[in-house]
A and B are shown apart, each in its own frame.
Chain A
Amino acid sequence: MSSTTQTTTRRDVLGASALRPDGAAKVQGRFEFSSDLHAENMLWGATLRSPHPYARLVSIDLSAAYKIVGVVAIITAEDVPGKKTYGLISSDQPVFAQDFVRYVGEPIAAVAADHPETCRRALAAIKVEYEVLSPLTDAELAIQPATPPIHPDGNVIRRQQIITGDQDLQGEIIVEGTYEIGMQDQAFLGLEAALALPDSDGKGIEMHVATQWLHEDQKQIAACLDLPAERIRLTLGGVGGAFGAREDISLQVHCALLALRTSRPIKMQYSREESFYGHVHRHPAKIFIRHHAKRNGEIQRIEAKMVFDGGAYASTSSAVLINGVTHIQGPYRCPNATVVGYAVRTNNPPCGAMRGFGVVQACYAHESQMDKLAAACGLSPVEIRLRNAMVTGDKLITGQVIESVAPVARCIRETDAIALPAPLAKTAHPLEIVGGSGLTSLPHNIVRGIGWGVSIKNLMYSEKFDDFATARCQLKDGVATLKYATVEVGQGFVVLAPQIARSVLGVDEVVLDTVDTGIGSAGSTSASRQTWMSGGAVDGACRLVRQRLFEHVGKKYNIDPLRLVIEDTDVVDMIGDFRISVIEASTGVLIDETFEHHHRPTEELDENGQGNCHVAFAFVAHRAVVDVDVELGLVKVIQIATAQDVGRVLNPIAALGQIEGGIAQGLGLAVMEEIVLDKGKMRNPSFTDYLLPTALDAPSVVAVMIEEPEPQAPLGAKGIGEPPCISVTPAIAAAIRNATGRELPRVPVRPQDICF
């Protein structure tokens, strides 16, 4: 069984490049991922999925499957004791299909058997009769009132408009375009896996699972099982990446149901192919946008229509939509707006959270427009952006005033100041040239291009949601023990939390307790929020403990606790010469405090899209340099220069890791990563054909961290997880445009989009 208790003893306080405690184990293959979980006497679970994008379920015949030796249980919708559906914002996704299947891969039944191979044979032996229906796969068609709904709740998951200012204003300069974004997959490497252990009374479950938010899973599982939440105890299994794809339930409910049904531990784990079917993806989107500007480039009004294809079930589509429409102005002032957005249901695979969450789509559209506007006004890409860059105190199209630190112009200028890479040498090694090991191109086939992207991203959850975080700190004998339910998906909270404790408490040794539901929620590891939210909670708990320690020391040594401070690893009297080590001060006492961090409240948007719906914002600029073989349409990204508004750097090496990783993911969307759909069916659900950037595709990254501490943030640090992957995509697309002169209104940019 996994125990995630970790001890770190390095004197790494905030600001140090502290190393991850799990880093070496991951590199050496010793880290226990969820797929490595194992229990005595366990059975394997597997899921039967729909091969059709849209069909009526006529009948399910389990008799042949039950005859297979080794099959212990088969469950379908009938066997769900509680709520038959789940979902993050609206609960519309069936645990198992009941009357209809609405996407390829929709679960129909689950099997428990003695071996994965037995499971596979059992799934093949289940006879399902379908009445195949014609799938709705066009999101724009789905909006039309005449289109029959594919779901009782209708096809439009949410419509939101933003209407502000002069609705008739026409600019001296008008530029417009229609932009499309393909369906990206989070493609985390650690596949979905869970181990469920039934309680002996059959009325509870212990589950070890790779997820992003233990308490939300707990709530949804409990509702489907019709059990009290406290009987569903979740422990975090080792997570190998998430990027939004683990925010929704995948195999959790199936695994728990099978464990209760069989009274045996159940292990479930997806293959790569099943993973493509088993989790939500990034929303493909189509965005029409028109900018009105003065001749000098000053933006006066935007008009936009945004359509997000949510696929068969809602997931977080409504929140993704809100992010899309509220960020469509980009990090630029814009007094007047006429914006409407739709998130719709189709028979495509369900879409939900992915790093950037609706802003990626908006950013590709507004940044493509900024270059068009620059060209129309005779300005450089840098100049047009500087002229319109927003500052703290500016009002967004929602009426919300930007209270965050907003160093947009500084991000642009500092990025611009980064040296460009050397031109491609005539003698360059073949692997440095476009086409790489394919040896397609020589230096004279190549044109270099430069492009820009700048973005604004909201941090934390929006629209009235109180996504608080809880942490507990215990201090005893100089050792701090931290407990929280904050999921580590790679972002680095495992290294940050001890840094906070060391800084606040002056301890060296910090023990991280198991991450489970034995404490209050930490909220989701998403929305660039954990450093701010759980960091704030750990900081708050440690400060409470420190207060108590000072009181204890004050009493014992007769000093006013208000005079005490922590200096390095000592408790020190600011005024007198009293000094005692934290170890000595805390010997023989146990101080135990829990703290909940809440961000400031937000509001819902009204029918005109007005309201203070977001908590805070972060900004970043990217400049891409690409080499393009124009004749073959092949691209190699050479350099990404970036300056990111991070508030404060808490761990330089970890911050750079987030920036480099985000850039690779944004590069993927720009030039290769796409789930190719054909009438609702995925054509490439494997890493053979869903291409991720390799080391040869990764550019050199030159990053500048803009440190202007954010007053609202507990540690002064803004979330940095999402911004790196947002404006890098349009920057790369713009660089390809710059090299080729093509319009390229769609990402990923494919070779045939360039050369024809």
Chain B
Amino acid sequence: MSVLVPRTLQDALQATAANPSAQLIQGGTDLMVEINFNHRKPTDVIALRRVDELKSVNIDIKNSQITIGAGLPYQQMEHGEIALHLPALAQAARTVGSPQIRSAGSIGGNLGTCSPAGDALPVLSALNATVNLQSADSSRAISIHDFMVGVKRNARMPGEIIVSTTLPIVSGWQGYSKVGVRNAMVISVASCCLVVDRINGTIAVALGAVGPTIIRCRETESWLAAQVDLKAKTTVSPNLLQEFGDRIATESKPIDDHRSTAAYRRHAVAVLARRMLTRANAQ
């Protein structure tokens, strides 16, 4: 087994070009578990941890967007400027694992694994984030919606490195809630990210752990936008709130497994979405 430890993005890209099937590792909080369980037996590994460019943060107020390096650990998203502009991402980051995991795990790894329970992913989805990929001779930016293609499957091509993700700064309430059977350090049973865009009068709702991949509730979003003026701070009637949750539940596609039941998950996303819409309108 070979392990390359490039110090620059350029070197990392050269390394992936030379060996497109090499296994990338950032924090290792997903990959090492898979290796320990023998689900994956990489022969060549490229470690990205020393590549500082992958930890950069670019806050572009003029264009209302933030670009976060794929290797930035979650712990650095919990507070500070990222949290100020992207509170939902900060909340999602805070729910990931334990302090040890949050100081190693990254969005790049969450995207790389592409689990439906990945906590950063509903936020990326609700915010219509862009995933920036680069290879030795080209780069591309694709929508998060095109990046996630199935259960633990994504659109990354061999030789490509996820360098960053770009998220818009949205004016309006946003939040992330996650149900687990423990008060911390737990894999999501069901989760929800809700983002209100007051300028454009739209709402985005993305659900985690209730389908093969993250689910965007587009029908409910446009239904709600037609019912209420999202540009203004409105109170949503109890009936409307009830229906909002019901519609969210209908758009979810949960399954029964050892962590929970489909019925509970469907119920939970409805409750979370209703509570978050209420919170959004209380602000």
In the complex the two chains form, is A755's CB within 8 Å of B258's CB? no
Instruction: Known contacts A684-B258, A689-B258, A696-B184; decide if A633 and B264 are in contact (CB<8 Å).
Output: yes
Q: B residues within 8 A CB of A447?
A: none
Chain A contact-residue range equals 35 or more
In the complex the two chains form, is B258's CB within 8 Å of A437's CB? no
Q: A residues within 8 A CB of B258?
A: 676, 678, 683-684, 689
Distance between Cα atoms of A751 and B181 in the complex (Å): 7
Q: Nearest Cβ in chain A — how far from B249, in angstroms?
A: 13
Distance between Cα atoms of A634 and B180 in the complex (Å): 8
* Binding-face segment, B170-178, B217-225, B229-237: B170-178
Q: Mark B249-265, 1 if CB is under 8 A from A, else 0.
A: 00000000111110110
In the complex the two chains form, is B272's CB within 8 Å of A440's CB? yes
* A438 within 8 A of partner (CB): yes
Q: B residues within 8 A CB of A696?
A: 182-185
Q: A residues within 8 A CB of B36?
A: 271
* A704 within 8 A of partner (CB): no
In the complex the two chains form, is B182's CB within 8 Å of A442's CB? no
Interface residues of B in 176-194 (CB under 8 A from A): 176-187, 189, 191
* A631 within 8 A of partner (CB): yes
* A697 within 8 A of partner (CB): yes
* A380 within 8 A of partner (CB): no
In the complex the two chains form, is A751's CB within 8 Å of B183's CB? no
Q: Nearest Cβ in chain B — how far from A691, in angstroms?
A: 5
Distance between Cα atoms of A437 and B179 in the complex (Å): 9
Interface residues of B in 10-41 (CB under 8 A from A): 36-38
In the complex the two chains form, is A752's CB within 8 Å of B183's CB? no
Distance between Cα atoms of A667 and B279 in the complex (Å): 32
Which listed residue, A271, A431, A442, A752, touches B260 by the CB 8 Å rule?
Answer: A752
Q: A residues within 8 A CB of B257?
A: 683
Tell me if A's interface is mostly helix, strand, loop or mixed.
loop
In the complex the two chains form, is B38's CB within 8 Å of A120's CB? yes
* B132 within 8 A of partner (CB): no
**Closest residue on chain A to residue B184 by CB atoms:** A696
Which listed residue, A120, A445, A694, A750, touches B182 by the CB 8 Å rule?
Answer: A694
* A435 within 8 A of partner (CB): yes
In the complex the two chains form, is A436's CB within 8 Å of B187's CB? no
* A557 within 8 A of partner (CB): no
Which listed residue, B94, B98, B179, B185, touches A435 by the CB 8 Å rule?
Answer: B179
Q: How many A-B contacts at CB < 8 Å in the complex?
A: 95
In the complex the two chains form, is A437's CB within 8 Å of B272's CB? no
* A623 within 8 A of partner (CB): no
Q: Mark B80-91, 1 if CB is under 8 A from A, else 0.
A: 000000000001
Interface residues of A in 659-677 (CB under 8 A from B): 671-672, 676
**Closest residue on chain A to residue B180 by CB atoms:** A438
Which listed residue, B178, B187, B261, B264, touches A440 by the CB 8 Å rule?
Answer: B178
**Closest residue on chain B to residue A124 by CB atoms:** B38
Q: Mark B24-60, 1 if CB is under 8 A from A, else 0.
A: 0000000000001110000000000000000000000
Instruction: Known contacts A751-B264, A755-B264; decide if A672 and B272 are in contact (CB<8 Å).
Output: no
**Closest residue on chain A to residue B175 by CB atoms:** A439
**Closest residue on chain B to residue A440 by CB atoms:** B177
Q: Nearest Cβ in chain B — how far from A185, in angstroms?
A: 14
Distance between Cα atoms of A693 and B180 in the complex (Å): 12
In the complex the two chains form, is B185's CB within 8 Å of A439's CB? no
Distance between Cα atoms of A631 and B179 in the complex (Å): 12
* B271 within 8 A of partner (CB): yes
In the complex the two chains form, is A693's CB within 8 Å of B177's CB? no
Q: Mark A514-538, 1 if CB is under 8 A from B, else 0.
A: 0000000000000000000000000
In the complex the two chains form, is A632's CB within 8 Å of B268's CB? yes
In the complex the two chains form, is B175's CB within 8 Å of A752's CB? no
Distance between Cα atoms of A440 and B268 in the complex (Å): 10
**Closest residue on chain B to residue A273 by CB atoms:** B37
Interface residues of A in 632-683 (CB under 8 A from B): 632-634, 636, 671-672, 676, 678, 683
Interface residues of B in 94-138 (CB under 8 A from A): 94-95, 98
Instruction: Known contacts A120-B38, A689-B258; decide if A439 and B187 are in contact (CB<8 Å).
Output: no
Instruction: Known contacts A442-B275, A676-B258, A751-B264; decide if A694 and B184 are in contact (CB<8 Å).
Output: yes
* A688 within 8 A of partner (CB): yes
In the complex the two chains form, is A631's CB within 8 Å of B94's CB? no
Instruction: Known contacts A436-B184, A438-B95, A694-B184; decide if A751 and B178 are in contact (CB<8 Å).
Output: no
Q: A residues within 8 A CB of B152?
A: none
Q: Nearest Cβ in chain B — how far from A551, in angstroms?
A: 59
* B198 within 8 A of partner (CB): no
Which of A435, A439, A750 is the most central at the interface, judged by chain B CB atoms within 10 Å of its CB?
A439
* B156 within 8 A of partner (CB): no
* A618 within 8 A of partner (CB): no
Interface residues of B in 137-183 (CB under 8 A from A): 175-183
Interface residues of B (CB under 8 A from A): 36-38, 91, 94-95, 98, 175-187, 189, 191, 257-261, 263-264, 267-268, 271-272, 275, 279
Name 19 extra pairs, CB < 8 A, besides A439-B175, A634-B179.
A271-B36, A435-B179, A437-B178, A441-B275, A442-B275, A676-B258, A684-B259, A689-B187, A689-B258, A693-B182, A694-B182, A694-B184, A695-B184, A750-B181, A751-B181, A751-B189, A751-B260, A751-B268, A756-B264
Going nearest first, the 6 A-B pairs with the smallest beta carbon separation are A436-B183, A683-B258, A438-B178, A696-B183, A752-B264, A696-B184
21 contacts between A and B (CB under 8 A): A435-B177, A436-B184, A437-B178, A437-B183, A438-B186, A439-B175, A440-B272, A631-B271, A636-B183, A672-B181, A689-B258, A694-B98, A694-B182, A696-B183, A696-B184, A696-B185, A750-B260, A752-B260, A752-B261, A752-B263, A756-B267
Interface residues of A (CB under 8 A from B): 120, 271, 273, 431, 434-442, 445, 631-634, 636, 671-672, 676, 678, 683-684, 688-689, 691, 693-697, 750-752, 755-756
